[in-house]
Structure 1
Amino acid sequence: MKVPLLAFNDKGIYCQQADVYLDPWQPVKNAIITHGHADHSRWGHQNYITHHTNVPIIRHRLGEINVTGIAWNETFVINNVKFSLHPAGHIIGSSQIRVEHKGEVWVFTGDYKTEDDGISVPYEVVKCDTFITECTFGLPAFNWIPQAEVSSQINNWWAENKAEGKTSILFGYSLGKAQRLLKYLDTDIGTIYTHGAIENMTNVLRPLVDFPPTTLVTRETKKEDLLGNIVLAPPSAHGSTWIRKMTPFVTGSASGWMAFRGARRRRAVDKGFVLSDHCDWYSLLDCIKATGAEKIICTHGYTDIFSKYLRELGYDARTEKTQYEGETADSEGVEPENTAIENEA
């Protein structure tokens, strides 16, 4: 019986021929990592391989690890298996992993999006035979509006809150979403303040991206200093004593889940902005078609519904269980409180 080029086991996605795992969720000897979010890059592996812009991110999160940085489209060979990393467009340093052996090509996307956010290297189509895709937002209800429109909504909301003498608190994950929001905030409106988790991660990324200046919220920061300004904070800060000291304030959340009715109410925020670092339904389908792949493996999200639709289109599609979270309807990912181990989505 032919051994598949990539197989799913209790540790992760395994390439037996090369004895290497892709984004493993249990400690292994050799791991190729797509990006820095905590569900894809975990502590405990002996050797890490990732894109070189992701190296400072995972070192910041995981500490001193044995990691090798690779450039886009750079081929590296492990036991006659060819690997290369290609832009996924999800967050800074996020990759798809191309695996080739004996003329067979598989691509593992990790998490990805096709809209150019201006801070990540845009998604690249990679031709393959088998395509392993997330489907976090694999329902037709998800159809993103252009990023520029969302940015205008956020800046207008901030300006309105300022006119009312209130602080704007905008929730976004410390790696990825926060930097995307920060890049397009209008500093003519006021000052951008940050929670420590976001400030620390943004400082890691400043050598790579021209971000606006930010001011860290400290114990010495007075609520009078914040009035009319905006505070970027991780969702874990919602309802904390840290945030209650900022009254009067208005809260907002940027997430793909804000496309669902009731999501804003469930998260107990005043305003929701539909902005995701993942593909919507239509982008997923376009990406799959562009790869030319006949076999599709759906890993996390609306796997059953999406794979069923793909089979109706004629694809050989199936699902596989993983421990990747992506953006979840309740938490939009996992963000530990420990700011030395930060996450997304």
Structure 2
Amino acid sequence: MSSQLLSFTDRGIYCADGDFYIDPWRPVARALVTHGHSDHARWGHAQYLCTHQALPVIRHRLGDIRAEGIAYGETRQIGGVEVSFHPAGHVPGSAQIRIARRGEVWVVSGDYKVEADGLSEAFDPVRCHTFISECTFGLPLFRWQPQRLIAEQLAAWWQGNAAEGRTSILAAYGLGKAQRLMRLLPDAGPILTHGAVEETTRILRDQGYALPPTIRVSAGVDAKSHPGALVIAPPSALGTPWARRFGPAAEAFASGWMALRGIRRRRGLGTGFVISDHADWPGLNAAIRATGATRVFVTHGYTTPFRRWLEEQGYDAGIVQTEFGAEESDAAVEADPA
């Protein structure tokens, strides 16, 4: 009897027949990486394989690494298995990873969202027997509004602040969310960026992703030099001396966690925009159905209630314990809607 195609270890999801790990969190000889966020693309592996689109940001973040890119949909034979990468819709370059052996197919989702955002390569369901799915927002209360409505809310907030003489400071994760927000916003004034956001934006722009002009915040760039500006910065910049250079300002955070009023209150934020690069409850269920899988492992989020829900729907469901989640962990540790 053949062994299970993938196994779950203290280093990450492992394929013995190919002798590789998927998004491992401890150093390994060969890592297949779904995308460039720091909780999935970690330093210390001997070899990396990711999509061509994800590779530039991963190199920027990890430095001198031995890494190779692969095209979406390209099949690669690694040991005794066939491997291919497919769009996950999470951030630019993000992928689901398909592993096949003698007719048996598993797919590891990485992080994903099903709504096309106009920037990331759109989610493409992959048929399989076993699906390993993230469930960051795996509770029924998480249901995202259409992106166009969030764009209208963002524009109204920015324009209202400008009319009152305040700078708008919008906190968003530096890879994916920040650039998605730039594309959503109208040409209503200058967009200033924190250095961490600007570096990633420059890399994506150089790759051909269509992004509007931005101005890096440096000496002499402030509210006086750019009145009515929107500033996009990492969440860690809120409330710091760096942010206070903009004088009278309104601060907001763009995240799926803003659906929880308690988090906004504890952060002291009057404004939160509910927009996520992860699938919501309907998105998770639709994505799983589209795979045709009969067995589903869940990870990274509300795993226990989501597993229970899947079992009630007739799936053979399990939980994979991982160390993913750093990109949103500052909010996730507070998230307790129960």
1:244 and 2:261 correspond: no
CA distance in 2, matches of 1:279, 1:195: 27
Kindly provide the CA deviation profile for residues 215-246 of structure 1, in whole angstroms up to 9, marking residues without a partner as x.
11112224312431110000010121101121
Residue 2 of structure 1: how far off its partner (Å): 4.2
Residue 332 of structure 1: how far off its partner (Å): 5.9
After superposition, the Cα gap between the structure-2 partners of 1:155 and 1:79, relative to the gap in structure 1 and judged at 3 Å, is same
CA distance in 1, matches of 2:85, 2:293: 18
Is the CA contact 2:178–2:232 (under 8 Å) kept in the aligned structure 1? yes
After superposition, the Cα gap between the structure-2 partners of 1:222 and 1:136, relative to the gap in structure 1 and judged at 3 Å, is closer
Structure 2 match to 1:273: 273
1:93 and 2:93 correspond: yes
Structure 2 match to 1:178: 178
Is the CA contact 1:255–1:273 (under 8 Å) kept in the aligned structure 2? yes
Identity between Structure 1 and Structure 2 (%): 51
Is the CA contact 1:111–1:326 (under 8 Å) kept in the aligned structure 2? no
* TM-score w.r.t. length of structure 2: 0.96
Kindly provide the CA deviation profile for residues 23-77 of structure 1, in whole angstroms up to 9, marking residues without a partner as x.
0001111110000000000011111110001110100101121111101110000
Where in structure 2 are there 5+ consecutive unaligned residues?
A: 334-338
Structure 1 residues 3-152: aligned runs within 5 Å: 3-152=3-152
Residue 80 of structure 1: how far off its partner (Å): 2.3
- How many pairs align? 332
Structure 2 match to 1:194: 193
Q: Please state whether the residue corresponding to 1:285 is helix, strand or coil.
A: helix
Once the two structures are overlaid, the 10-residue window that deviates more, 321-330 or 138-147, is 321-330
After superposition, the Cα gap between the structure-2 partners of 1:142 and 1:131, relative to the gap in structure 1 and judged at 3 Å, is same
Kindly provide the CA deviation profile for residues 156-186 of structure 1, in whole angstroms up to 9, marking residues without a partner as x.
1000001000000000011111000111221
Q: Please state whether the residue corresponding to 2:322 is helix, strand or coil.
A: coil
Structure 2 match to 1:311: 311
Structure 2 match to 1:257: 257
Q: Please state whether the residue corresponding to 2:99 is helix, strand or coil.
A: strand
CA distance in 2, matches of 1:129, 1:145: 31
Q: Please state whether the residue corresponding to 1:262 is helix, strand or coil.
A: helix
Give, as a single letter, the amino acid of the residue that structure 2 aligns with 1:196: G
Is the CA contact 2:38–2:326 (under 8 Å) kept in the aligned structure 1? no
Q: Please state whether the residue corresponding to 2:134 is helix, strand or coil.
A: strand
CA distance in 2, matches of 1:67, 1:329: 27
CA distance in 2, matches of 1:114, 1:152: 21
Q: Please state whether the residue corresponding to 2:107 is helix, strand or coil.
A: strand
Q: Please state whether the residue corresponding to 1:99 is helix, strand or coil.
A: strand
Structure 1 match to 2:336: none
Q: Please state whether the residue corresponding to 2:53 is helix, strand or coil.
A: helix
- RMSD of Structure 2 on Structure 1 (CA): 1.3
Residue 198 of structure 1: how far off its partner (Å): 0.4
